[in-house]
Amino acid sequence: MLALTSDATGDDSLADFLAMVDGTKAIRYWDDALADWAEITAATYGHDYTLEYQTTGDLAGYTMLTVGQLPALPGDYNDDGIVDAADYSVWRDNLGQSVTLPNQATPGTVTAADYDVWAANYGGALTVDAIPEPNAIALAAIAMGWFTRRR
């Protein structure tokens, strides 16, 4: 669990948050070993961050930051969430070397099998699940029911 310091109005917009964090150590996490909040100096690429402003309880006035690992995208060797030509360049530059690329099919040495994975997934991208919006027919049915009920 992480807590982000927020301003008195509870504004946690990105612009305000970045302005507030600039030059400070506003991001903290609970360290059980210390039994206290500890500072985090930077975010980690490849993780999904969710912010939720707290209005009640001991953490009122803080924005809670939850962190989740994004799923792996085979062939995304630069770990930017898209399998594209940039990943081919990373593969080509490391071919035959004993390194492990992000999302590599054959960890250890970069091989032609990694190219095959890249080619098979070319054009792929990580997707974020969206909260579905009600469709127009459902909204129309609700509106019709409301108007009928008012008569």
The CATH 1.10.1330.10 portion of the chain extends over: 72-151
Q: Which of the listed CATH numbers 3.40.50.2300, 1.10.1330.10, 3.30.413.10, 1.10.3130.10 matches domain 72-151? A: 1.10.1330.10
In this predicted structure, what is the pLDDT of residue 133? 41
Over range 6-26, report the average pLDDT.
55
Strand partners, 68: 48
8 A C-beta contact, residue 45 and residue 79: yes
The pTM assigned to this predicted structure is: 0.45
More confident residue, 60 or 78: 78
Q: What pLDDT digit, counting tens, does each position of 32-57 carry?
A: 777 776 666 545 555 556 667 777 77
Q: What pLDDT digit, counting tens, does each position of 126-144 carry?
A: 764 444 444 555 555 555 5
Q: What pLDDT digit, counting tens, does each position of 71-107 carry?
A: 778 999 988 888 999 999 999 999 999 998 988 878 8
Beta-carbon contacts of 36 under 8 Å, excluding residues fewer than 6 positions away, are 30
Tokens of 90: 């990373």
Tokens of 7: 């301003």
Strand partners, 14: none
Closest among 93, 90, 80, 91 to 124, alpha carbons compared:
80
Residue 94: enclosing H or E segment and its boundaries? helix 85-94
In this predicted structure, what is the pLDDT of residue 13? 54
In this predicted structure, what is the pLDDT of residue 84? 94
In this predicted structure, what is the pLDDT of residue 140? 54
